Structure 1
Amino acid sequence: MNSNALKPSMGILNLVEGEKKFTLSRYAPSEDIGFFVKHFWVVSWDLTGHAPYNQELVPNPCVNLIIEPNKTAIYGIPKNKSSYLIREKGHVLGVKFKPGGFYPFIRQSVSVLNGNPMGVENVFDVDARAIEDTILNQQEDSKMVELAEHMIRQKLPARDENITLINRVIDQIIEDREITKVDHISQQLNINIRKLQRLFEQYVGVSPKWVIKLYRLQNAAESMDLNQNHNLLKLSMDLGYYDQSHFIKDFKSIIGITPDEYIRKFL
């Protein structure tokens, strides 16, 4: 069940440094839950006697249900970098839904969650404090995941094949770095652009154009991590930018700092 063997950063900036402060574990869902859920994640830490640590995160096109003391809620997609301050000792359980995977639970545009977290009681008919007490007091991650799955399973909607389509589109965007525009993916997968835009707005809560930009800029950060030469002009052109200033602006809008600042900070 534990999927830690291959553990990409998935938007966690400077994960190598972060894991000196906390432990991150990811768990694959059961088959029925897995149609809607990408994975479960648990972050635990013990900084007793040490300074708090601020972990920076870049966005991804997924809704997260986060169970943590006095903050349990369903969170939409942030448009830019966010951060999470950990202090003292604790742990958090998260449910990362697949892109589009949360829509069938609420049957309204997922964009309503962006900047406006939704209470779990509105979707799963459970009390947030009771869920926190029940799940977070478990001694084993597997038991926490089991209880979270039980909660979700009680409200599991019918499968919606639009979720499969959306994830096919996003997988193609991730795998094919030549995709820099929405019409590229529209042509490759023979999907009407307007249909694609409507699906993403309704099911994902962001536009396909924004998703393409997100992964281009994550690719840029990854390339800088691996290439010590840091030829930013070449990198921007490889990513389909013909204006380096546009690349720098987009990079900062997603990663939170300029490429030069990223190199100085993390590399």
Structure 2
Amino acid sequence: MTTVRDTRGIIAPRSMMRRVRFERLPAPDALSGLIDWFWAVRWEFDPGVRHAQQVLSLPAVNISIGDPPPPSEAPPPGPYPLRTVISGVPTRRSTRVLSGTGWNLAAKTTVGGFGAWLDDVSALTDRALPGAEVHPAWGDDLAVRAERRGVGEGAALLASALLEALSRRPERRVREAREVAEGARAAEGDRRVRSAADLASATGCSVRTLQRLYASHVGVSPTWVIRRFRIIDAAERVQAREPVSWAALAAELGYSDQAHLTRDFTATLGTTPAAYARAERA
């Protein structure tokens, strides 16, 4: 498999890339429309060295195997056990404090893709559950079996577990998940989509139907998804280290004015756009 570089959702990615080995791998064709990619991170720090990595997640579910610390700015001391974890869409920033030696490998779903495996994805929002609680075949043994394998073999093992579970799901539900994910591409890439009504029009359904599908397959509202993508767009623009006209960017992203973009950006990332830009330049 070919490594894919994409740092969306990682706050200040340059700092992380200097400290860990990070890879992103494409999903197999059989999971097309449901899994966007696999990602893997490995780290090995000297005693006493720590790296706090903040993440502003894309609106997706992650199926992870490995021994990472739990999300927290002050996690309990490691080492941590090998485990399989299903992480729903986090609506807030999260922090992982890395230390010692560890690894994590995950499948990142499309927007709505996890609805193929679970009937009510909203039950996972802002939660991380042991894999076996979501599907009996996703126990911690997956992480144990993958521990001594390379990234490619580990991703293949995880893909196999996902496909096995998928084969037992209703075809209608799997098809609907792919349709939700396909429609969500407009929320991600079409700057003219600025509201749930715009997204419903782009996908050819009513606003009420769209809201029902998002609650079931995504776990958050269409409006929330649109707004999250726009804030990530703004952060990516800053990370390009090019001069940014915030008034022009606000208009481009569908905000009524710069003040509204600044307010959303600050509330989501915990820092103003100007401060974020200064930190990136530094």
In structure 2, C-alpha distance between the alignment counterparts of 1:227 and 1:149, rounded to whole Å: 36
Q: Provide structure 2 residue ranges, at least 5 long, that are not aligned to the other structure.
A: 68-80
- Would the alpha carbon gap of residues 149 and 189 (structure 1) be closer, same or farther in structure 2, given more than 3 Å must change? closer
Residue 124 (structure 1) shift? 3.3
Verify the 8 A CA contact 2:186 2:202 in the aligned structure 1. no
Residue 199 (structure 1) shift? 0.6
In structure 2, C-alpha distance between the alignment counterparts of 1:238 and 1:27, rounded to whole Å: 31
* SS across alignment from 1:25: strand
In structure 1, C-alpha distance between the alignment counterparts of 2:127 and 2:240, rounded to whole Å: 36
Counting only pairs closer than 5 Å after superposition, residues 186-201 of structure 1 correspond to structure 2 as 186-201=200-215
Number of aligned residue pairs: 263
The answer for the alignment partner of 2:246 in structure 1 is 232
The answer for the alignment partner of 1:22 in structure 2 is 20
* SS across alignment from 1:118: strand
Q: Deviations over 1:16-46 (max 9, x none)?
A: 2211111111222222233422222111112
Residue 50 (structure 1) shift? 6.2
Q: State the 4+ residue runs in structure 1 displaced beyond 6 angstroms.
A: none
In structure 1, C-alpha distance between the alignment counterparts of 2:109 and 2:146, rounded to whole Å: 18
Match for 1:217: what amino acid?
I
The answer for the alignment partner of 2:259 in structure 1 is 245
In structure 2, C-alpha distance between the alignment counterparts of 1:40 and 1:229, rounded to whole Å: 32
The answer for the alignment partner of 1:39 in structure 2 is 37
Verify the 8 A CA contact 2:238 2:280 in the aligned structure 1. no
Residue 214 (structure 1) shift? 0.8
TM-score, normalised to structure 2's length? Answer: 0.85
TM-score, normalised to structure 1's length? Answer: 0.89
1:105 aligns to 2:117 (yes or no): yes
In structure 2, C-alpha distance between the alignment counterparts of 1:35 and 1:113, rounded to whole Å: 20
Q: Provide structure 1 residue ranges, at least 5 long, that are not aligned to the other structure.
A: none
Verify the 8 A CA contact 1:182 1:209 in the aligned structure 2. yes
Of 46, 49, 54, which residue of structure 2 is paired with 1:48? Answer: 46
In structure 1, C-alpha distance between the alignment counterparts of 2:104 and 2:89, rounded to whole Å: 18
In structure 2, C-alpha distance between the alignment counterparts of 1:116 and 1:210, rounded to whole Å: 17
Of 140, 152, 155, which residue of structure 1 is paired with 2:162? Answer: 152
In structure 1, C-alpha distance between the alignment counterparts of 2:248 and 2:28, rounded to whole Å: 43
Match for 1:257: what amino acid?
T
1:114 aligns to 2:128 (yes or no): no
The answer for the alignment partner of 1:3 in structure 2 is 3
In structure 2, C-alpha distance between the alignment counterparts of 1:30 and 1:240, rounded to whole Å: 35
Q: Percent identity?
A: 24
Verify the 8 A CA contact 1:64 1:74 in the aligned structure 2. yes
RMSD: 2.1
- Would the alpha carbon gap of residues 117 and 226 (structure 1) be closer, same or farther in structure 2, given more than 3 Å must change? closer
Counting only pairs closer than 5 Å after superposition, residues 198-213 of structure 1 correspond to structure 2 as 198-213=212-227
Verify the 8 A CA contact 1:65 1:94 in the aligned structure 2. yes
In structure 1, C-alpha distance between the alignment counterparts of 2:206 and 2:244, rounded to whole Å: 38
